[in-house]
Amino acid sequence: MPVTKRKTVTQARARTNLRAERKLIFMKHARMPAIIIAVATALLLTVVSVLGATAEEIAASDKHFSLESATATEGSLTVAEIVKKCQNSIVAITTETVQSYGNNYGYGNGYGYGYNPFGFGYGYGNPYGNNNRQYTVTGSASGIIVSADGYIVTNAHVVEGADSVTVTLFDGTEYEAEVIGYAADNDIAVCKIDAQGLTPATFGDSDTLEVGELAVVIGNPLGLANGAVTSGIISALNYPYEDDEHTINAIQTDAAINQGNSGGALFNSYGEVVGVVFAKMGGSLVDGIGYAIPVNDVKTIIEGIINDPDATAVSTGESNILLGVTITTITDEISDYYSLPKGAYVVEVEQFSAAERAGLQTGDVITAFDGQSVDTAETFIEIKNQQSAGEDVEVEVWRNGQEMTLTVHMPEARDVTTEITKGTQG
């Protein structure tokens, strides 16, 4: 019996151990799916993370090119944002000028085709008969609101001689405008309308512009699209623009400029006015060359007209000292092709000018001015503007393969004071 009892106990213990081993095996097998799921989840998250990063990299490498992104600077706005910010600060200007009959066409005043190719105008009335006949010439242009109480900047050639000036806001509201004054030499004018609560434009620093920056033009092209927008880049700075009426160190842009854009604004990438549009280069072989007056060159004049409407003159400063020479840059391609030195090529020398008295001639290449190397037209303008009236400055010139040194006497600014004509509009 004792043996049998021990066997029974032993068998019972064996059965208990077997059940425990089976339970342990079951628990191990039960944990396997959880472990597999955990491992699979970790692997899946890793794959998703990798794929997500790859997708972002692919998206970043496949971005659509835009002019805005190519020219953007920190904190700059998109063209759409600039338009939203600035469009209400630009106005359309319409002028009417009554003229006595003197030819058989309704063209030829300062606002149409007969003066320059940058305004826009047409005549109506009877162009036939004798000199007692009259006709009215209408012109269209643009303007910039500079104060909430109705002061507006435009070009002098837009309003000079006009019998009436009408300003149309972006919302279509029309006002009769008074011409407060204008500086013809600088092609800047100020008008006033009887309005309050307008949206003045923000003015920037045109001296900080760099070639290649985003440029946006808003104006009234052809008198048909008040607030129309074009965009491009700053193509050149200190371009020595000259015509029969003006010599202006202009900003050049490839943003489209058309007749009627005169007096409109050139904005930088922050929505700040850096130039007042005044001209474009015309011709069947020319495209994308427009000009604006740098605001830093005319701020004092604008402020003088507004703050002292009875003023008769405002000092121009040294930056307007003119030598009477039209220049352009000798590029690397031109230099190599024509075997010319790098420098400022003299396109034209004005008769009786300081440049002519110094002996400069058309075809000369200016290579140094006041002991400083000149490799572009812009460099020449910058060095020239550092000089003072009355100084004698040496100019190194290449002419027909020969190098020579000339001496130019720096003249007073062309009209040391720029005349500001008071408006007579009521």
Q: What number is the average pLDDT over the span 211-222?
A: 93
Tens-place pLDDT, residues 23-64: 544 444 445 555 555 555 555 555 444 444 444 443 444 544
DSSP 87: G
Range of lowest pLDDT (73-77, 101-105, 135-139, 148-152) = 101-105
| Higher pLDDT among residues 373 and 313, named by residue | 373
Q: State the pLDDT at residue 347.
A: 76
Q: What number is the average pLDDT over the span 222-247?
A: 82
Q: State the pLDDT at residue 287.
A: 74
Q: The tokens of 290 are what?
A: 């427009």
Q: State the pLDDT at residue 197.
A: 94
Q: State the pLDDT at residue 133.
A: 72
Contact in structure between 113 and 265 (CB atoms under 8 Å): no
| Residue 385, pLDDT above cutoff 70 | yes
Q: How many helices (H) and strands (E) does the chain have?
A: 8, 22
Q: Which residues are catalytic?
A: 157, 187, 262
Range of lowest pLDDT (54-63, 262-271, 288-297, 382-391) = 54-63
Q: State the pLDDT at residue 12.
A: 55
Range of lowest pLDDT (343-352, 366-375, 397-406) = 343-352
| Residue 21, pLDDT above cutoff 80 | no
Q: Find where tokens 């020579």 sit.
A: 404
| Higher pLDDT among residues 73 and 342, named by residue | 342
Strand pairing class (134-145; 120-125): antiparallel
| Higher pLDDT among residues 3 and 169, named by residue | 169
One-character DSSP codes across 387-408? --TT-EEEEEEEETTEEEEEEE
Do you know the residue count of the chain? Answer: 426
SS3 63: coil
Cα-Cα-Cα-Cα dihedral sign, residues 30, 36, 37, 42 = positive
Q: State the pLDDT at residue 390.
A: 86
Rounded-to-integer distance, Cα 423 and Cα 161, Å: 9
Q: The tokens of 63 are what?
A: 């971005």
Tens-place pLDDT, residues 246-276: 678 899 999 999 888 999 999 999 999 999 9
Q: Find where tokens 């699209």 sit.
A: 225
Residue 342 C-beta-side C-alpha neighbours within 13 Å: 9
One-character DSSP codes across 306-320? HH-TT--EEE--GGG
| Residue 170, pLDDT above cutoff 80 | yes
Residue 36: count of CB within 10 angstroms of its CB? 10
Which residues is 191 bridged to in the sheet?
A: 152, 179
Single out the residue of 156, 202, 172, 420 nearest to residue 312, CA to CA: 420
CATH superfamily name and code, 83-192? Trypsin-like serine proteases (2.40.10.10)
Rounded-to-integer distance, Cα 425 and Cα 163, Å: 8
| Residue 13, pLDDT above cutoff 50 | yes
Instruction: Give 154's contacts (C-beta < 8 A, 6+ positions apart).
Output: 93, 141, 142, 143, 144, 189, 190, 191, 262, 263, 276
| Max CA separation in the chain (angstroms) | 157
Q: What number is the average pLDDT over the span 371-381?
A: 89
Q: State the pLDDT at residue 421.
A: 56
Contact in structure between 425 and 181 (CB atoms under 8 Å): no
| Higher pLDDT among residues 222 and 294, named by residue | 294
Q: State the pLDDT at residue 232.
A: 94
Task: Classify residue 150 as exposed, middle or buried by CB count within 10 Å of its CB (0-12, 13-18, 19+).
Answer: buried
Residue 362 C-beta-side C-alpha neighbours within 13 Å: 5
| Residue 198, pLDDT above cutoff 90 | yes
CATH superfamily name and code, 323-409? PDZ domain (2.30.42.10)
Range of lowest pLDDT (112-121, 164-173, 309-318) = 112-121
Tens-place pLDDT, residues 303-357: 888 887 655 444 433 345 778 787 878 888 888 888 889 998 887 787 678 888 9
Task: Classify residue 424 as exposed, middle or buried by CB count within 10 Å of its CB (0-12, 13-18, 19+).
Answer: exposed
Q: State the pLDDT at residue 61.
A: 47
Output Rg (C-alpha) for the chain, integer angstroms: 37
Q: What number is the average pLDDT over the span 175-203?
A: 91
CATH superfamily name and code, 206-312? Trypsin-like serine proteases (2.40.10.10)
Mean predicted lDDT score pLDDT of the chain: 75
Rounded-to-integer distance, Cα 63 and Cα 61, Å: 6
Q: State the pLDDT at residue 348.
A: 76
pTM for the model: 0.56
pLDDT band at 285 (very low <50, low <70, confident <90, very high): low
Q: State the pLDDT at residue 24.
A: 44
Q: State the pLDDT at residue 399.
A: 93
**153-183: buried (b, 16+ CB within 10 Å) or exposed (e) per residue?**
bbbbbbbbebebbbbbbbeeeebebbbbbbb
